[in-house]
Amino acid sequence: MAAPVLSAPDDEELVSTPSALRRFLRGLPGVDQVGCEARAATLASRSIKTTAKAQALDLAVSMIDLTTLEGQDTTGKVRALCAKAQRPDPTDPSCPSVAAVCVYPDLVSAARTALGNSGVAVASVATAFPSGRAALEVKLRDTADAIAAGATEIDMVIDRGAFLSGDFTKVHEEIAAVRAACATSDGQAAAHLKVILETGELMTYDNVRRASWLAMLAGADFIKTSTGKVQPAATLPVTLVMLEAVRDFADATGRQVGVKAAGGISTAKDAIRYLVMVNETVGDDWLTPHLFRFGASRLLNDLLMQRSKLATGRYAGHDYFTLD
């Protein structure tokens, strides 16, 4: 079935009742698992060399949300991460900075101070990350705290329990409420909203497509694969389904929603595969940090190592790249 053409009033109607929303999401075209995985595998076999590789490496660096989400995080570690985010390769001024630093809400102010006006954004996970198991008021307070501390991007998690039990309306309302909490009193967006689907818990590609549409209908600026705390995290086929969803959503509504692949992407080779997939699925409009991100920590060092290999013809040892 074709994705129906949406316009603003229809949008309202779609989500007006639980049954209307359920009918719409269940009516989305299915995803054939075998075909989807085969397509992802074919795209992964592209050979990106020389100038194209140099371009891809720089692009990937600029798309990173450099992330630390550990219980043992300290302000010192966040400051170090922020320094690296602004100048990933201190020996090479041509190396772009990353897109954002992503931390827990209580470390937002430390990141904000360290990043200053560098142009690198501060992203914060919120809404009882990673499980999302808390009351809505708690989630909204979590979000508000992060924004008050200076976060300009909020990575929220959806209520997977509600989604899997078929209560799409509850999920929609929560996302819309967090969306509202991300706005200032005059309605301007104070923070960009990334909605984490946690695809590792959704189990089927059909669910991934439905959750993608649900998040976009509720006002997500980005849809994001994973928290990184659940396996599997980002995979190529899951990202393919999400890219197809944002493409179809843009066709239907004219609004471009971004995609963030997060968790488990640790090599430059993997990152380039994602860029190829973006390029050949949604087109090069999406090849910008405004519409595609990597949520990663280890990935940056491999990108830097490949960058210096391309420039010098030799691999430098691991000790030439800073630990985060």
Catalytically annotated residues: 155, 224, 260
Instruction: Kindly tell me which of 8 and 34 has the beta carbon lying closer to other proteins.
Output: 34
Least gap, CB of 246 to other proteins (angstroms) = 13
Q: Which of 105, 102, 156 shows the shortest CA–CA distance to 131?
A: 156
Integer Cα distance of 102 and 299 in angstroms:
14
Nearer to other proteins, 35 or 90 (CB): 35
Nearer Cβ to other proteins (64/193): 64
Between 121 and 272, name the residue whose CB sits nearer to other proteins.
272
User: CA-CA distances (angstroms) from residue 217 to 42, 237, 256?
Assistant: 31, 22, 12
Question: Cα separation of 146 and 182, whole Å?
Answer: 10
**Whole-number Å distance between alpha carbons of 6 and 217:** 10
- Binding-site ranges for other proteins (CB under 8 A): 1-3, 29-32, 34-36, 38-39, 45-53, 55-56, 59, 244, 275, 279-280, 284, 287-288
Closest distance to other proteins from the beta carbon of 279 (Å): 5
What is the closest distance, in whole angstroms, from the C-beta atom of residue 31 to other proteins in the complex? 6
Measured distance CA(193)–CA(215) in Å, rounded: 10
Report the alpha-carbon distance of residue 179 to residue 171 in Å, rounded.
12
Is residue 284 exposed (0-12), middle (13-18) or buried (19+ Cβ within 10 Å)? exposed
Rounded to a whole number of angstroms, the minimum distance from the CB of residue 313 to other proteins is 17
